């Protein structure tokens, strides 16, 4: 919160009034980082400077130069080019995993919390079973059974992350269903899907969005971890996790390869977290007019 800090209030009256989303620093920075990385991923064929498979053994571990923007890896492949293509893999896995987890978890949470009773009991015990496994074991088991591949890695992440949405949405639903406006909707004769999706869901969106943005970051870390452990996409694929893990073999003499992929992971995760914080503030209509309005 720098440029738009309310502490500048005395001069505030004369200050240029930006539209509300633009006064939210974490939203701006988060969106900038995320959009940049998404842009790089989408336009990877245009921004990549080299062929991914092109090796240049004499020039392995070269530092950044005009020829190789971020240097080369252990096979002399261009790190920058591998990085932007790697963004495609990381982002698609994260997006698929998060969207699927959020949808499944939210549905389970809404139904569980709203209906209660034995429905709640059954759904929550199923959730407990999923929570009961150590997540790494569960993920590895799914990938081991299904085999490596983009969809399978994404699916394995859904298996461990939908429970979080289910739990959070259930607890907000438990509170919201007692609200008078939900009672009023019932008195008006609203059907249960209408109550769930029109009255309760919009009021649970805040936590879901925060979870999803954190989840995108976590999914990227998970994907890297799987690649690091050798359970991700198999080697020619330019995953960030593989570069990070393989780079550690040379880290004493040539730390560049690991540092770059590690930094890419970190910046991306940071971007999603900032974006999530910003969105939460933006989506709460009560905060739009409070104080600064």
Partner 1 sequence: MTADPQIPLLSVRDLKVHFPIHRGVLQRQVGTVRAVDGVSFDLGRNETLGLVGESGCGKSTTGLALTGLVPPTEGTVMFDGKRVGSESGVDLQTYRRRMQIVFQDPYSSLNPRQRVSDILRVPLDIHGIGTRAERPQMVLDMMERVGLRPDQARNYPHQFSGGQRQRIGIARALMLNPDVIVCDEPVSALDVSVQAQILNLLRDLQAELGVAFLFISHDLGVVEHIARKVAVMYLGKIVEMADRRTLFANPVHPYTERLLGSMPSLDPRKRHSFEVASDDIPSATSIPSGCAFRTRCPLATAVCAKEVPPATERAPGHVVACHNR
Can you give the binding site for partner 1, defined by CB under 8 A? 179-181, 183-191, 194, 198-199, 202-203, 285-286, 289
Residue 189's region, left for phi above 0, alpha for psi from -120 to 50, else beta, is left
The smaller minimum CB distance to partner 1, of residues 147 and 189, is found at 189
The smaller minimum CB distance to partner 1, of residues 198 and 249, is found at 198
Tokens standing for residue 122: 């059954």
Shortest separation between residue 273's beta carbon and partner 1, angstroms: 24
The smaller minimum CB distance to partner 1, of residues 147 and 285, is found at 285
The smaller minimum CB distance to partner 1, of residues 10 and 189, is found at 189
Shortest separation between residue 285's beta carbon and partner 1, angstroms: 5
Q: How far apart, in whole angstroms, are the C-alpha atoms of residue 64 and residue 62?
A: 7
Shortest separation between residue 204's beta carbon and partner 1, angstroms: 10
Beta bridge partners of 78: 72
The smaller minimum CB distance to partner 1, of residues 69 and 283, is found at 283
The smaller minimum CB distance to partner 1, of residues 46 and 187, is found at 187
Shortest separation between residue 286's beta carbon and partner 1, angstroms: 5
**b/e for 74-112, b at 16 or more Cβ within 10 A?**
bebbbbbbbbbbbbbbbbbbbebbbebbbebbbbbbbbb
Nearest to 132 by CA among 169, 171, 163: 163
Nearest to 271 by CA among 94, 45, 135: 94
Nearest to 135 by CA among 104, 156, 108: 156
The smaller minimum CB distance to partner 1, of residues 160 and 185, is found at 185
Shortest separation between residue 209's beta carbon and partner 1, angstroms: 13
Say if CB 23 and CB 4 are below 8 A apart.
yes
Residue with the two structure tokens 């008078």: 180
The smaller minimum CB distance to partner 1, of residues 53 and 184, is found at 184
Q: Angle at CA 82, nearest 5°, toward 80 and 86?
A: 115
Shortest separation between residue 279's beta carbon and partner 1, angstroms: 15
Q: How far apart, in whole angstroms, are the C-alpha atoms of residue 85 and residue 42?
A: 9
SS3 of 165, please?
A: helix
Shortest separation between residue 26's beta carbon and partner 1, angstroms: 22
Shortest separation between residue 118's beta carbon and partner 1, angstroms: 11
The DSSP annotation for 71-83 comes to -B-TTS-BHHHHH
Q: How far apart, in whole angstroms, are the C-alpha atoms of residue 36 and residue 32?
A: 6
């Amino acid at each position: 919160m720098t440029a738009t800090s309310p502490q500048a209030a005395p001069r505030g009256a004369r200050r240029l009034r930006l539209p509300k989303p633009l006064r939210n620093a974490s939203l701006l920075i988060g969106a900038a980082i995320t959009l940049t990385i998404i842009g790089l991923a989408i336009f990877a064929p245009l921004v990549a400077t080299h062929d991914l498979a092109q090796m240049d053994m004499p020039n392995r571990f070269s530092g950044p130069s005009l020829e190789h923007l971020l240097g080369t890896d252990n096979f002399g492949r261009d790190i920058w080019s591998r990085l932007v293509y790697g963004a495609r893999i990381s982002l698609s896995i994260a997006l698929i995993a998060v969207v699927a987890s959020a949808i499944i978890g939210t549905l389970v949470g809404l139904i569980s919390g709203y209906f209660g009773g034995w429905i709640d009991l059954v759904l929550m015990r199923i959730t407990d079973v999923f929570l009961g496994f150590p997540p790494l074991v569960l993920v590895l088991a799914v990938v081991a059974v299904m085999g490596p591949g983009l969809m399978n890695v994404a699916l394995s992440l859904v298996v461990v992350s939908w429970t979080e949405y289910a739990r959070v949405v259930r607890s907000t639903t438990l509170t919201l269903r007692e609200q008078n406006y939900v009672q009023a909707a019932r008195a008006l004769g609203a059907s249960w899907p209408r109550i769930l999706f029109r009255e309760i869901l919009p009021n649970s969106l805040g936590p879901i969005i925060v979870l999803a943005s954190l989840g995108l970051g976590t999914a990227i870390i998970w994907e890297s971890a799987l690649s690091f452990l050798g359970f991700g996409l198999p080697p020619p694929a330019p995953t960030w996790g593989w570069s990070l893990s393989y780079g550690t073999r040379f880290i004493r003499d040539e730390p560049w390869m690991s540092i770059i992929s590690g930094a890419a992971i970190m910046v991306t995760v940071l971007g999603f977290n900032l974006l999530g914080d910003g969105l939460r503030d933006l989506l709460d209509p009560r905060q739009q007019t409070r104080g600064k309005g």
